[in-house]
Amino acid sequence: MTAVTVSLEILTSPVLDGVRHGFFSRRGGASSGIFEGLNCGGGSSDQAEIVAMNRDRAARALDVPPTHLVTVNQVHSATAVTLDAPPADRPRADAIVSTTPGLAIAVLTADCQPVLFADAEAGVIAAAHAGWRGALDGILEATIEEMEAQGARRENIRAAIGPSISQAAYEVGQEFLERFCDDDPENARFFINGASGKYLFDLPGYGLKRLRDAEIAGAEWTRHCTYRDANRFYSYRRATHRGEADYGRLLSAIRL
Condensed to tens digits (0 to 9), the pLDDT of residues 87-114 reads: 999 999 999 999 999 999 999 999 999 9
- Give the global pTM: 0.96
Instruction: State residue 5's pLDDT score.
Output: 43
Instruction: State residue 229's pLDDT score.
Output: 97
Instruction: State residue 116's pLDDT score.
Output: 99
- What residues in the chain have per-residue pLDDT under 70? 1-6
CATH architecture of 10-165+218-255: 4-Layer Sandwich (3.60)
Q: Where are the domains of the chain?
A: 10-165+218-255
C-alpha to C-alpha distance for 255 and 240, rounded to whole angstroms = 33
Instruction: State residue 233's pLDDT score.
Output: 98
